[in-house]
Amino acid sequence: MTEAKIRTEEMLLNMGPQHPSTHGVFRVVVRTDGELILESQSHIGYLHRCFEKCAEGNNYLQVVPYTDRMDYLCAMMNNWGYAASIEKLTGIEVPERAEYIRVIVAELNRVASHLLAFGTYGLDIGAITPFLYAFRDRERILKIFEKLCGQRLNYSYVRIGGVTFDMTDEILSDIEAFCDYFDPKIIDEYDNLLSYNGIFISRTANVGVIPADLAISYGVTGPSLRGSGVPRDLRRDAPYGIYDRLEFDVPVGSGEMGQVGDCWDRYMVRMREMRQSIRLVRQAIKDIPDGPFCDKKAFRGVKPKAGETYKKVEGARGEVGFYVVSDGTNIPYRVKARAPSFCNISILDKLTSMSDVMLADLVAIIGSLDIVLGEVDR
Amino acid sequence: MARLEIGQIIAVLKEKLPEAVSEEVLDGVDPVIVVKAEQWAAVAELCRDDSRLGFDLLSCITGVDYPEREEGAEIEVIYNLDSTANLHELTVKVKLPRSDPRVASVEGTWATADWHERETYDLVGVIFEGHHNLVRILCADDWVGHPLRKDYEPPDSFHGIKNVIY
């Protein structure tokens, strides 16, 4: 049999900015040889809303709602990161009860965010059912938040000096009911549905492997870094709030299904983190003290002394940092946000150039990095 | 490996590069060291490679514009370094003249600096020398000016789209 003369040609393909698998407006230009990607170039900025410029024109309290709109899937942690940096700058003490409430809402928000990551990741790969399950349960969390602060996504709940509304006993029992419903039964169900599904494993194991040192060099943090086997978690390594009083494990990727740092590892870290988050919520609910939930004076306005600081917290996607410069007025001189998705997605071009990545795997890699474009572009 | 205090970090830096630290600001909220622009590339490599320091994670790069400084208009570039092994942090500042803000790129030391430097170039207008692709990242390619400069005036329109202020 003679070989057919097939002419191959390199092709430039444009993926995005409007593409369902890029989770927002994100554009990748890929140079392909058949199904193989030779090189890719990411373009961001389509959702740039000038957060940092806006922050220079509003007073410290007015900046809080802008932080919601960065990573709109885990707004609580963005609020907290910003509030924590201003509290560090001004030396405002947060009441004990507020610290517990912050842990409860942040961890619930982490579960909600990871649920969305789980659902849409299935969708990216071609499993549609998990998405419906994930949204069913995420809805329960959003309902709790709606009851708590009237908002489903952009909470502005964690503010400088505390939280906006007190946690009532009714909401606490709602949260307990959710925890009992969710863990372990529902997460086990998810694992059976998707995590150990043969097709899912073949699509994600050994795909998009990020070695630990490369991940650190590219500033990858959060579940994506832990997927590469690096046990770095700010809640444990640089505890803020009351995390040092609570017990939890830091799941890391171990290459169970393939190599350490592949897409499956990153995915599985999120699934395991949900269990830990529920564990944290249960502990916080058990120990929550009575008392004030905010520093009333700080709620009326803050005016830090001239100075600057950098503070970061562990968000659902990685380390959310705020560098704040004060010139002594009630308007920030400069606010710089370190968005975890911005750093995490920057590794994509490297991944496609250093190993053989199939076109279909690009979707699996982007999904496993779990980016939110609102945060990439700010 | 162990967590070092700021004094010990400065001592390690001075041991290898005696001229490295030009100023120490230890009374602020965060301790800050100021490094001369021409020394920054060497300091960055030392920060990453010395196992006592081990700053392998570049967390953030911030550019701040100070047009009205007594000692002359300046732009500060602030680097927040983290160590994943030793769990300590360091804030390094490089002060540049506002008329010609140039500093060496550190993308060879930390790959994440690539995008962070592009962002700082885009919004604050700092030139990172040696960067392989110093183009705008958040604003459009043909945008004029650097929006986070304090004297920045937004354009009246962009490609026919009016700048409406409510």
Mean pLDDT, residues A118-143: 90
- Report the candidate in A234, A228, A226 with the shortest Cα–Cα distance to residue A251: A226
The pLDDT confidence band at residue B1, using thresholds 50, 70 and 90, is low
B60 and A218: CB-CB below 8 Å?
Answer: no
Q: Are A323 and B114 in contact (CB < 8 Å)?
A: no
Q: Does position A371 have pLDDT exceeding 90, yes or no?
A: no
- Residue A17 preceded by cis peptide, ω within 30: yes
- Considering only CB atoms, A219 lies closest to which of B89, B112, B139, namely B112
DSSP code of A259? Answer: S
Cβ distance B56 to A219 less than 8 Å, yes or no, reads no
- pLDDT digits 0-9 by tens, A177-215: 999 998 888 888 888 888 888 888 998 888 889 999 999
Q: At residue A357, does pLDDT exceed 90?
A: no
**pLDDT category, A253, cuts 50, 70, 90?**
confident
Share of chain B above pLDDT 90, in %: 22
Nearest to A362 by CA among A347, A345, A348: A348
pLDDT > 70: percent of chain B: 99
**For the residues B76-99, what does the mean pLDDT come to?**
90
Which tokens is B82 given?
A: 């983290």
CA distance A243 to chain B (A): 16
What's the mean pLDDT in A207-230?
90
Is the minimum CB–CB distance between B73 and chain A shorter than 8 Å? no
What was the pLDDT predicted at A277? 92
B1 part of a folded domain: no
CATH number of the domain within which B115 lies: 3.30.460.80
| Residue A248 counted as domain residue | yes
Please check whether residue B163 lies inside any domain of the structure.
no
Q: Determine which of A40, A218, A350, A351 to mutate to test the interface with B (most B C-beta atoms within 10 Å).
A: A218
Residue B84 and residue A232: Cβ atoms within 8 Å?
A: yes
A295-314 as b/e: b if 16+ CB within 10 A: beebeeebebeebbbbbbbb
Across the range B70-79, mean pLDDT stands at 87
A1 assigned to some structural domain: no
Do the domain assignments include residue B89?
Answer: yes
Of A153, A113, A102, which Cα lies nearest the Cα of A137?
A113
- CB of B74 within 8 Å of any CB in chain A? no
Chain B interface, mutation test: which of A53, A305, A310, A369, most B Cβ atoms within 10 Å? A310
pLDDT at A286 over 80: yes
**Six-digit token string for B129:** 């020398």
Distance separating alpha carbons of residues B166 and B154, to the nearest angstrom = 14
B90 pLDDT higher than 80: yes
**Cross-chain Cβ contact B111/A218 below 8 Å:** yes
Enumerate residues 119 to 158 of chain B having a beta carbon within 8 A of any beta carbon in chain A. Answer: 123, 136-140, 147-148
Instruction: Render A120-136 in DSSP notation, one character per residue.
Output: HHHHHHT--HHHHHHHH
DSSP-assigned beta bridge partners for residue B76:
B64, B95
Contact B137 A343 (CB under 8 A): no
**Residue A49 pLDDT exceeds 80:** yes
- Look up the domain containing B140 and give its range: 6-150
Chain B nearest CA to A370, separation (Å): 18
Q: What is the pLDDT of residue B64?
A: 92
Question: Is B100 within the bounds of a domain?
Answer: yes
Domain assignment present for residue B45? The answer is: yes
Q: Which of A16-20, A306-310, B38-42, B149-153 has the lowest mean pLDDT?
A: A16-20
Residue A2: the pLDDT is 65
A319, A340 in Cβ contact below 8 A? yes
Total domains in chain A come to 1
Containing structural domain, residue A265: 10-377
What CATH number is associated with residue A314? 1.10.645.10
Tokens of A151: 């908002």
Q: How many domains does chain B have?
A: 1
Residue A359: the pLDDT is 86
Asked if the structure places residue A4 within a domain, the reply is no
* A219 located within any domain: yes
- Check B136 against A45: CB less than 8 A apart: yes
Confidence of residue A1 (pLDDT cuts 50, 70, 90): low
In a domain, B132, yes or no: yes
Q: Does the residue A3 lie in any domain?
A: no
Q: What is the pLDDT of residue B39?
A: 86
In a domain, B48, yes or no: yes
With CB atoms and an 8 Å threshold, state whether A88 touches B56: no
Mean pLDDT of chain B: 87
Domain assignment present for residue B23? The answer is yes
- Give me the mean pLDDT over the B27-32 stretch: 86
- Which tokens belong to A261? 């740092």
The whole-model pTM stands at 0.89
Nearest-CA residue of chain B relative to A350? B111
